[in-house]
Amino acid sequence: MTATHHTPHQTPDRFALSEIHGPVLRPGDDAYVAEVTGFNLSAFHHPDVVVGAAGVDDVVTAMRWAAATGTPVAVQATGHGANFPIDGGMLISTTRMTDVTIDPAERTATVAAGARWRHVLEAAAPHGLAPLNGSSSDAGVVGYTLGGGLPVLGRTYGYAADRVRSVQVVTPDATLRTVTADTEPDLFWALRGGKGNLGVVTELTFDLVPLASVLGGGIYFRGEHAETVLHTWTDWTTTLPTEMCSAYTLLRLPPIPQIPEPLRGGFWARVALAWTGDVEEGENLLAPIREAAPVAIDTVEDMPYAAMDRIYLDPEDPLPAREACTLLRSLPPDARTAFLDRAGPAVPDFPLLLIELRHMGGELSRPAPVEDAICARDASYLLETVGVLPDPDTAAAVETATTALHDTMSPWSTGHTLVNLHGSPGDEKDRARAWTDEVYTRLSRTKSHYDPDNLLRFGHTVSTTSA
């Protein structure tokens, strides 16, 4: 493939991208708005040019053009992580690149840049294999994994990025590289947990686990029982084997048709769970949760793993959302009291849709088989919040409530976040909270080597350094 080269900072023009097989769009073009719109509608993108990459060659050509013209680059597959607006520059949309190949003998999946987890689930299930996906199968594989990837089955199997075998990536110098622990170990380390700081990933190969079904679902209680259920769940988590993965959630659901009855319009305390062991043993382990308070709805069942969306029931339709997270060292009684005082039943107008405490530990606390940039292995719990932003007044209330709750829980925090759930990235100090100081410094050095001109500077990025 030959592409036309331009001197740096030459004015971009269509001829430079003439070899792109997918659409090349500018503001005002008919398909521009649809191409830039992602799942999270809180951030609308306004890039100067959008490349709808049809394959790897298109990504290489786009990056060559960006490097030659000094144009900053962002990437979007599904837009579930679109927590920040992209203004100016180039947006590479990988939504057309959805190939998935399963190797049953090796128990691996090789996926293209725009594949969603549902594509992998569908391809792996006939072989009795499962990927380490998150709570929504609609999310993109690559962005999720580059941020570390917190699976539904994390306590049992660890982080998704820990299972990556190789990464095909186009670095900002427009070089297509196949990166492994043996070929380019520093880049391989940084790509797994360092998010999109080092290049545009066009393909991942990762291990699958032999798993056809799980005991999973949600046990729902009326909101007035939130305190009792929280104390029961927290105490319960201290005794669990790694095969049990669970979360405690407060849900304040609006009365809209997208939410099924009888959940619609209600305030609920939920324990969502997935158990990978013997079904009867798992059912017996659930007894303390089911006995904590009157159960309103119980959806726990032995389900095909490919149906795992039933567990968390994440929204299926795009919406404008503000998310944030805090990693917690522990949840002692005073932490639970502070949590409930800020967001529990006594605060009926608390404006957040979802407040979740995820049980961490287990395999999530183990070192990766091959070192990576994930910095959440010391957390016992994770606090995640999601607020919907239908109008400016609600957005202001959501922002105030989000900040207040995470500040309230800061005495029990590790001081860090997960990059995928961090929310809208702020200044460097705020963005750096996704990593330890040591890892952030190493990421900065690695980025400076592979992206010295800081072309990949949108979103949750690390700063370059001359060190």
Give the pLDDT of residue 18.
86
Bridge partners of 284? none
End-to-end CA distance of the chain: 36
The CATH number of 14-93 is which of 3.30.43.10, 1.10.10.10, 3.40.1400.10, 3.40.605.10? Answer: 3.30.43.10
In this structure, the dihedral spanned by the alpha carbons of residues 315, 424, 79 and 8, taken in order and rounded to 10 degrees, is 180
CB within 8 Å of 449: residues ≥ 6 apart? 186
d(CA 114, CA 96): 6
Q: Which CATH architecture has domain 213-421?
A: 3-Layer(aba) Sandwich (3.40)
Give the pLDDT of residue 9.
41
Answer whether residue 10 shows pLDDT above 50. no
Residue owning tokens 């319009």:
265
User: DSSP character for 300?
Assistant: -
- Write the Ramachandran bin of 278: left for phi over 0, alpha for psi from -120 to 50, otherwise beta: beta
Q: In the structure, what pLDDT confidence band is assigned to residue 166 with cuts at 50, 70 and 90?
A: very high
Answer whether residue 1 shows pLDDT above 70. no
For the chain, domain boundaries: 14-93, 100-210, 213-421
Answer whether residue 4 shows pLDDT above 90. no
Give the pLDDT of residue 348.
82
Burial 146-184, CB ≥16 within 10 A → b, else e: bbbbbbbbbbbbbbbbbbbbbbbbbbbebebbebbbeeb
Average pLDDT, the chain: 94
Per-residue model confidence as pLDDT tens digits over 214-243:
999 999 999 999 999 999 999 999 999 999
d(CA 76, CA 270): 32
Q: Compute the average pLDDT of residues 310-318.
A: 94
Q: 262 preceded by cis ω (within 30°)?
A: yes
DSSP letters, 122-166, are HHHGGGTEE----S-TTSBHHHHHHTT---TTHHHH--GGGGEEE
The proportion of the chain whose per-residue pLDDT surpasses 70, expressed as a percent, equals: 96
The proportion of the chain whose per-residue pLDDT surpasses 90, expressed as a percent, equals: 92
Q: Give the Cβ contact number of residue 426 at 10 Å.
A: 13
Which top CATH class is 100-210? alpha beta
Residue pair 264/255 in contact by the 8 Å Cβ criterion: yes
d(CA 87, CA 46): 5
CB within 8 Å of 287: residues ≥ 6 apart? none
Range scoring the smallest mean pLDDT among 35-39, 336-340, 389-393: 389-393
Give, in degrees to the nearest 5, the angle at Cα 265 between 262 and 269: 75
Give the pLDDT of residue 17.
87
Burial 76-112, CB ≥16 within 10 A → b, else e: bbbbbbbbbbbeebbbbbbbbbbebebeeeebbbbbb
Q: Do domains 14-93 and 213-421 have the same CATH topology?
A: no
Give the pLDDT of residue 256.
87
Q: Compute the average pLDDT of residues 149-156.
A: 98
Question: What type of residue is 360?
Answer: M
Return contacts of 236-241, CB within 8 angstroms, 24+ apart.
236/288, 236/289, 237/359, 240/155, 240/285, 240/359, 241/277
Give the pLDDT of residue 2.
32
Per-residue model confidence as pLDDT tens digits over 406-452:
999 999 999 999 999 999 999 999 999 999 999 999 999 999 999 99
d(CA 152, CA 139): 13
User: How far does Cα 391 stand from its chain's mean position?
Assistant: 25
